[in-house]
Amino acid sequence: METIQSLLGFEWIDGRSVLIFLCVFVVLADILKNRVPPNFPPGPWSLPLIGDLLRVKTRRIHLQFAEFAEKYGNVFSLRLLGGRVVVINGYKLVKEALVQKGEDYSDRPVIPLFDAVFGNKGTGFILSGSKTLIPPYFRSNTFLLSLKGLVLSNGEPWKHQRRFALHTLRNFGLGKKTLETSIQQECHYLTEAFSTQQGQPFDAKSLINSAVSNIICCLVFGERYEYNDLKYKSILEQFNEVVYLQGSPAAQVYNSLPWLMKWLPGPHQRLLRLIRTITSFVEIKVKEHKESFDPSSLRDYIDCFLGEMGKNEDKESGFDIENLCACTLDLFGAGTETTTTTLHWGLLYMIYYPQIQERVQAEIDTVVGPSRLPSMSDRENLPYTNAVIHEIQRMANIIPLNVFHMTTKDTTLDKYMIPKGTIILPTLNSVLSDESMWETPHTFNPQHFLDQDGQFRKREAFLPFSAGKRVCLGEQLARMELFLFFTSLLQRFSLSPCDGEQPSLEFMLGFTRSPKPYRLCAVPR
């Protein structure tokens, strides 16, 4: 340092002065880089570098956002994830953004955390990342075309892959009787597993997780797993931990300060290791399919993708081996976690509200009876049961913040200007509990979905799968699974809390909102 100072003729500058200069420079650069655009949604005053990181309470962030909305309005902004995030609240504004102006809000942003695993060529089932630390609203749309997968890719690759996935899944029975039969068979396996508990207390989540996962595994991998398969149970447990750790404070700090956190120990390092393990599991499945691939006998989604790779030479379509792994991971993750968590909430609500459980069982007994498995054709004749399932989805509120969106161009919402490349959070929590759309928004009430004659009615603010161009790809599958698994379990068992254990509706928030661990007794009827 002294030599450099002497050469430059600045002997009066010491190391402390240089450090102060650098700190001031970094702070000023951050302030300039994150200047609020004209007529941008309001929000709290943010600190340099870390933004609103200290203000946000990650384990109750959806409730905190509701508090911010009361103060700043239903469209407000925060500094998170290395840039400015616009949060949208309420059915009216969420619908305007995702449906009426869906093209303007159809992209996905880049998140640093998953770049540490996948770099510029991969994805996670929730998030993906890039090498850049430029605030999101300055990133170019062409750069984002390099992202992979179904959930977070953008532009033409996303459109190609979404169409291909829907077409392929339909060919393997999505929305058809063939897939319904497969789910009914899995319902049989699940109810038999419940019966082995002989009415004794147990945690049902692992069994539900295995059953739900087997459906997407059959579609994607062409096989199902036994509930006692230790290796596969380990993968599911690791996956559950990934979902929870994504909501940890360490994960949020990493996304804001990746250049610092990548060198520090903490829960984010375990998260990265777990994601690598799950990714390796998917890569092994893809490798096995490549080795046994027969283009004349396509067994599942992976086979169909491999077949398309041989026919499609358009690089922008995304039919390459890296994207196959990414899309497979997306389908496996999304097809397992959300339905499992919803069913886990559903059983808890039936324990918590035994009178509602009894009414559901009475309706199932009348329409289906005890001797055959419920089918989708029964749904129309089970209006109360259908209403209860919908109310479970509304109150479970399993993805309260939705998945991040990003604007594709300069656009407007309400009275505000939102620049191209801005990260958007159209919160589903605010839609499913919108006081202007629901009679008793904070109470479990199946009557929300019943008309005066006791028949099922749809509600426009029922958006657990989001809406618009990025609406959940697996919505049809999830609806079928929820109905068949739920009715099959209630047909066979009476659910009750364990002696001395009071059921609680308290939640844990990771990427999804899940119930705290609980045990139940499933007594054969």
Contacts 24+ apart (CB under 8 A), 111-115: 111/81, 111/255, 111/404, 112/81, 112/82, 112/254, 112/255, 112/258, 113/251, 113/254, 113/255, 113/258, 113/268, 113/271, 113/272, 114/275, 115/258
As a whole number of angstroms, the distance between CA 176 and CA 170 comes to 8
**Taking the CA of residue 523 as centre, how many other CA atoms within 13 Å lie in the half-sphere pointing to its CB?**
7
As a whole number of angstroms, the distance between CA 425 and CA 75 comes to 10
**DSSP class per residue in 420-476:** TT-EEEE-HHHHHT-TTT-SSTTS--GGGGB-TTS-B---TT--TT--GGG--TTHH
Residues 6+ apart with CB under 8 A from 370: 491, 525
Picking from 432, 451, 438, the residue whose alpha carbon sits closest to that of residue 393 is 432
As a whole number of angstroms, the distance between CA 23 and CA 29 comes to 10
3-state secondary structure of 412: strand
Contact 413, 77 (CB under 8 A): no
Does any domain span residue 12?
A: no
Residue whose entry in the numeric block shows the structure tokens 């919505």: 475
Does any domain span residue 335?
A: yes
Contacts 24+ apart (CB under 8 A), 369-375: 370/491, 370/525, 373/184, 373/187, 373/188, 373/484, 373/488, 373/491, 374/483, 374/484, 374/487, 374/488, 374/491, 375/180, 375/184, 375/484
Given this model, what pLDDT does residue 313 score? Answer: 63
**Where in 52-185 does DSSP place strands (E)?**
75-80, 83-88
Does any domain span residue 28?
A: no
**pTM score of the predicted model:** 0.89
Which one-letter DSSP state was computed for residue 371? S
Does any domain span residue 17?
A: no
* CATH number for position 57: 1.10.630.10
Cα torsion 296, 300, 302, 308: sign: positive
Does any domain span residue 25?
A: no
Tell me the one-letter amino acid at 145: L
How many domains does the chain fold into?
A: 1
Given this model, what pLDDT does residue 167 score? Answer: 93
As a whole number of angstroms, the distance between CA 176 and CA 248 comes to 39
Does any domain span residue 327?
A: yes
SS3 string, 266-334, reads CHHHHHHHHHHHHHHHHHHHHHHHHHHCCCCCCCCHHHHHHHHHHHCCCHHHCCCHHHHHHHHHHHHHH
As a whole number of angstroms, the distance between CA 202 and CA 159 comes to 44
Q: Which domain holds residue 360?
A: 34-524
As a whole number of angstroms, the distance between CA 351 and CA 498 comes to 10
Does any domain span residue 5?
A: no
Which pairing describes strands 493-497 and 411-413: parallel, antiparallel, or unpaired?
A: unpaired
As a whole number of angstroms, the distance between CA 369 and CA 122 comes to 49
414 in the Ramachandran plot: left (φ > 0), alpha (ψ -120 to 50) or beta?
Answer: left
Beta partners for residue 77, in sequence order:
86
Q: Which residues does the chain have with pLDDT short of 50?
A: 1, 4-5, 7-8, 10, 120-146
Does any domain span residue 14?
A: no
Which one-letter DSSP state was computed for residue 42? P
Contact 157, 107 (CB under 8 A): no
Given this model, what pLDDT does residue 155 score? Answer: 87
**In whole angstroms, how large is the CA radius of gyration of the chain?**
25
As a whole number of angstroms, the distance between CA 183 and CA 335 comes to 13
